[in-house]
């Protein structure tokens, strides 16, 4: 059951696609107490001692969000520490699970605070800052149903091309065609699978969107062709800010047509980002959004099939207006008095440190939307969403038959229909493997299925063991990309001593591709989760909610990656008897049946722990060096059969936009005597292993 309550005059975020009539009365009794506070409209409810809170998408800390205060306030902040209240996205869906079970979606474009038992342990308080909003209240029979209910009202999740489930190598620092050629050559020579190489900002001409540096990529379409011949897809980055430069057509068209965000006086707002002085395309204005989206065509026509959208919180290194103001006021050398100079110098130092991503800067510029002028801070959380929507909508026109890979850094619920997200600038820390794991189900709840973290860590220097352990989680995430920051230790797999271990573990991903693609597609097409907390699958199990470092992946698997340095294994909780496949690769593993309960399970550095539920099958292909090579017509089945087990395999051409379960499912059944039967869309040759 879904109920909708409208407060004030909300800005329509277009997050919700289904028609839900608004209730006329107040919030039902027994849910929330409403108050007006200095920070905005607040509503709170009591939490029982054991109530758990789930959701909120991309955020720090555990799967159960209780005990901390979170903010929906998209920020470019590379410090993903526990102390943070928000990261790049705003995903305002939260579930209360306990004496009562219900979900809320706070559909608000502005800042929202979720005090999840932080101020008072037994109170959940949601505060929406100035402006209208819509509150949806959801109820369902189970946690999983609750998610399905929410997902059905926000529309189907984005589906990328199948090749985007392959491995992608990225690094901020690849500068030219030869850098990329070298990366590809090393992977191919060492037989490390690879499907994509990402192009970070240096491919552009002076960081200008939709340009390619002429000396670094002398014949770009030919280069894209050359890569495609090797089954490599190039994925360039696009930044939000458009460089101010006479003669640059994106800039000139935008200025001519009024497509950039404006200051109060109607002049265009100027921010400083990578290209220097930029304007922000007003992607909330449908006409400007269409125009900006059309620019992606330039690269699509050059042979590009995937993009990542960055800096779209939008990130601001400084706003010109503010810099001018502080320089005028605090310039130390405009006075001869030494004490004053000194004081001004210190003031300037502090001001300089606070230049980037200032809240006050977000109050300086305006959007033009549906005949209204809206100040940015009131719709701040919608910017990255709409930049990515610009691209996603354009791709439906530019590439009507073929899916295009698209993911974004900043997002809001609703954007999940147009693209995925990556988890932003994490660090090469062991704790960030766990953070990666914990964000997966929370993001799935909010509609984001195509996601993954920078494997190995973006900031700081990685180590070989961290890289390998992280990959052991990464092989299960739809987006599987190794990315790192300029200046940090290089972390392509071939840089490490034990290349063989990397080859085997990543080989396992390619073997698992039929399973992972099936589970992804079924989740997308039925509004389900691909990654589930144990508590969602074993609601009666009292310990399951405690197991926050394990996940169910699709119908049959549980994963429990090692995320501590020098560990030779880890404690694993089994809510039921399961069969452990301890895998060193596609062909090298041993199995063991473990009873329900707690176990210390050994896992050497190159071993992946895969747990199978009773009466389940998981198909493995023979793998490949790129996704096109993966053949789903011969499948080896991981199995744990007590009476009989079956699996629903989904497959399609991996490219067409026209997707449906009908006509694409194959049922594979195996009984305890080892008889296997298949029926449906395909007839794969299957064997139990
Ligand atoms: O200010 O393009 O999150 O993945 O490598 C940093 C350079 C800008 C931030 C992205 C990161 C990317 C980097 N970008």
Q: What is the CATH number of the domain that holds 99?
A: 2.60.40.1760
pLDDT of residue 92: 98
Residue 458 Cα to ligand 1 middle (Å)? 9
Domain housing 659: 516-688
Q: Which residue has the tokens 């101020």?
A: 119
Which parts of 483-588 are beta strand (E)? 531-532, 551-553, 557-559, 569-574, 578-583
How many angstroms from the chain centroid is the CA of residue 584?
28
From 168, 174, 235, 237, give the residue whose CB has the most ligand 1 atoms within 8 Å, as the site to mutate.
237
pLDDT confidence tier of residue 325, bands split at 50, 70 and 90? confident
Whole-angstrom Cα distance, residue 445 to residue 370?
A: 30
125: tokens are 């308080």
**Which residue, chain included where needed, has tokens 């990464």?**
474
Using alpha carbons, list the distances in angstroms from residue 574 to 158, 577, 593, 598: 32, 7, 11, 6
Confidence of residue 351 (pLDDT cuts 50, 70, 90): confident
pLDDT for the residue 663 = 96
Q: What is the pLDDT of residue 476?
A: 98
CA of 176 to the centre of ligand 1 (A): 17
The residue among 299, 252, 371, 248 whose CA lies nearest residue 260 is 252
Residue 77 within a domain: yes
Structure-token pair, residue 380: 């701040």
Distance CA 196, CA 426 (A): 21
User: What is the position in ligand 1's atom list of the atom closest to the CA of 274?
Assistant: 1
Q: Which residue has the tokens 């070989």?
A: 464
Confidence of residue 344 (pLDDT cuts 50, 70, 90): confident
Query: pLDDT tier at 352 (50, 70, 90 boundaries)?
Result: confident
Q: How many CB atoms lie within 10 A of CB 358?
A: 14
Helix (H), strand (E) at residue 508: helix 499-525
Structural domain contains residue 384:
no
What local confidence, expressed as pLDDT, does residue 288 receive?
A: 98
CA of 435 to the centre of ligand 1 (A): 19
Q: What is the mean pLDDT of residues 137-160?
A: 98
**502-519 pLDDT, tens digit each:** 999 999 999 999 999 999
Instruction: List the residue whose alpha carbon is closest to atom 11 of ligand 1.
Output: 425
Residue ID of nearest Cα to ligand 1 atom 6: 311
What tokens appear for 602 in the block?
A: 């050994």
Q: Is residue 230 part of a domain?
A: no
Residue-level pLDDT at 353: 86
Rg over CA atoms, the chain: 25
User: From the CA of 384, how far away is ligand 1's center (Å)?
Assistant: 14
Residue 651 alpha carbon to ligand 1 centre in Å: 34
Rounded to 5 degrees, φ, ψ at 147 are: -65, -45
Q: Is residue 493 part of a domain?
A: no
Here the CATH number for the domain that contains residue 544 is 2.60.40.4040
Band of pLDDT at residue 529, cut at 50, 70 and 90? very high
Burial of 294 (0-12, 13-18, 19+ CB in 10 A): middle
What the block records as the tokens of 556 is: 């049959």
Q: ω into residue 314 within 30 of 0, thus cis?
A: yes
Of 530, 475, 485, 506, residue with least CA distance to 151: 530
Which ligand 1 atom is at minimum distance from the Cα of 237?
A: 2
Q: Which of 391, 366, 361 is nearest to 376 (CA)?
A: 366
Contact between residue 548 and residue 572 where contact means Cβ atoms under 8 Å apart: no
Q: Final residue of a domain: which of 154, 185, 210? A: 154
Where are the strands (E) in 423-463, listed by range? 451-452, 454-455
For residue 585, is it within any domain? yes
Residue 312, in any domain of the structure: no
Structure tokens at 359: 């809240």
Ligand 1, pocket residues at CB < 6 Å: 172, 200-201, 237, 310-311, 409, 424-425, 483
Last residue within a domain, chosen from 138, 154, 170 = 154
Q: Tell which of 112, 135, 154 closes a domain.
A: 154
Nearest to 74 by CA among 395, 380, 427: 380
pLDDT band at 28 (very low <50, low <70, confident <90, very high): confident
pLDDT at 275: 97
Q: How many domains does the chain have?
A: 2
Residue 100 falls inside a structural domain: yes
CB 370 within 8 A of CB 284: no
Q: What is the mean pLDDT of residues 418-424?
A: 98
- For residue 58, the CA-to-ligand 1 centroid distance in Å is 17
Burial pattern 511-530, b for ≥16 Cβ within 10 A else e, equals bbbbbbbbbbbbbbbebbbb
Helix %, strand %, coil % for the chain, to 5?
30, 30, 45
User: Of all atoms in ligand 1, which is nearest to the CA of residue 425?
Assistant: 3
- Which residue has the CA at smallest separation from atom 12 of ligand 1? 172
Ligand 1 atom nearest residue 409's Cα: 3
Whether residue 380 lies inside any domain: the answer is: no
Longest CA–CA span in the chain (Å) reads 94
Nearest ligand 1 atom to alpha carbon 239:
2
Q: What is the pLDDT of residues 431-478, one digit of tens each?
A: 999 999 999 999 999 999 999 999 999 999 999 999 999 999 999 999
């Amino acid at each position: 059951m879904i109920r909708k309550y409208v407060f004030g005059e909300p800005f329509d975020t277009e997050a919700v696609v289904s028609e839900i009539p608004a209730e006329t009365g107040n919030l039902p009794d027994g849910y929330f107490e409403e108050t007006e506070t200095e920070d905005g409209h607040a509503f709170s409810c009591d939490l029982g001692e054991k109530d758990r809170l789930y959701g909120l998408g991309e955020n720090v800390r555990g799967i159960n969000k209780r005990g901390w205060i979170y903010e929906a306030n998209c920020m470019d902040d590379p410090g993903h520490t526990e102390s943070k209240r928000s990261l790049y996205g705003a995903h305002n869906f939260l579930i209360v699970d306990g004496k009562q079970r219900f979900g809320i979606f706070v559909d608000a474009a502005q800042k929202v605070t979720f005090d999840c038992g932080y101020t008072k342990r037994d109170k959940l308080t949601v505060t929406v800052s100035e402006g209208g909003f819509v509150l949806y209240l959801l109820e369902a029979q189970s946690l999983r149903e609750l998610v399905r209910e929410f997902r059905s009202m926000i529309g189907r999740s984005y589906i990328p091309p199948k090749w985007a489930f392959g491995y992608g190598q990225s690094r901020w620092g690849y500068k030219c065609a030869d850098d990329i050629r070298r990366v590809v050559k090393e992977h191919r020579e060492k037989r490390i699978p690879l499907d994509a190489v990402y192009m970070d900002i240096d491919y552009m001409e002076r960081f200008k969107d939709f340009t390619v540096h002429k000396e670094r990529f002398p014949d770009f379409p030919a280069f894209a062709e050359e890569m495609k011949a090797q089954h490599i897809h190039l994925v360039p980055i696009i930044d939000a800010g458009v460089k101010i430069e006479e003669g640059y057509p994106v800039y000139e068209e935008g200025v001519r047509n009024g497509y950039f965000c404006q200051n109060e006086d109607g002049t265009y707002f100027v921010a400083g980002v990578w290209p220097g002085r930029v304007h922000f395309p007003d992607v909330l204005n449908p006409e400007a959004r269409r125009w900006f989206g059309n620019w992606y065509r330039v690269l699509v026509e050059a042979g590009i099939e995937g993009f990542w959208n960055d800096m779209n919180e939008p990130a601001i290194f400084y706003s010109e207006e503010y810099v001018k103001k502080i320089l005028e006021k605090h310039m130390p050398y405009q006075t001869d008095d030494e004490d004053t100079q000194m004081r001004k110098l210190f003031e300037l130092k502090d001001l300089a440190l606070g230049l980037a991503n200032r809240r006050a800067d977000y109050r300086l510029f305006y959007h033009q939307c549906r005949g209204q002028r809206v100040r940015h801070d009131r719709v701040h959380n919608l910017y990255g969403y709409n930049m990515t929507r610009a691209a996603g909508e354009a791709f439906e026109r530019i590439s009507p038959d073929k899916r295009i890979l698209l993911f974004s850094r900043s997002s809001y619920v609703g954007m999940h229909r147009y693209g995925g997200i990556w988890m932003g600038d994490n660090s090469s820390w062991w704790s960030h493997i766990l953070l990666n794991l914990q964000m997966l189900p929370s993001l799935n709840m909010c509609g984001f299925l195509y996601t993954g973290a920078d494997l190995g860590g973006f900031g700081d220097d990685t180590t070989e063991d961290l890289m390998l352990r992280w990959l052991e989680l990464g092989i299960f995430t739809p987006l599987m990309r190794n990315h790192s920051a300029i200046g940090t230790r290089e972390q392509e797999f071939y840089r490490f001593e034990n290349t063989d271990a990397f080859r085997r573990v990543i080989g396992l991903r390619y073997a698992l591709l039929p399973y992972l693609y099936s589970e992804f597609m079924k989740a997308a097409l039925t509004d389900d989760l691909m990654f589930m907390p144990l508590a969602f699958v074993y609601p009666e199990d009292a310990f399951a909610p405690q197991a926050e470092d394990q996940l169910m992946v699709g119908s049959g698997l549980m994963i429990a990656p090692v995320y501590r340095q020098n560990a030779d294994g880890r404690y694993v909780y089994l809510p039921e008897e399961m069969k452990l496949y301890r895998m060193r690769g596609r062909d090298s593993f041993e199995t063991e049946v473990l009873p329900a309960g707690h176990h210390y399970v050994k896992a050497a550095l190159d071993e992946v722990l895969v747990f199978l539920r009773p009466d389940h099958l998981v198909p493995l292909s023979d793998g490949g060096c790129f996704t096109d090579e993966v053949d789903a017509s011969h499948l080896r089945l991981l199995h744990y059969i007590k009476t009989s087990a079956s699996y629903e395999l989904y497959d399609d051409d991996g490219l067409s936009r026209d997707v449906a379960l009908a006509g694409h499912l194959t049922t594979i059944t195996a009984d305890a005597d080892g008889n296997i039967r298949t029926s449906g869309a395909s007839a794969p040759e299957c064997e139990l292993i």
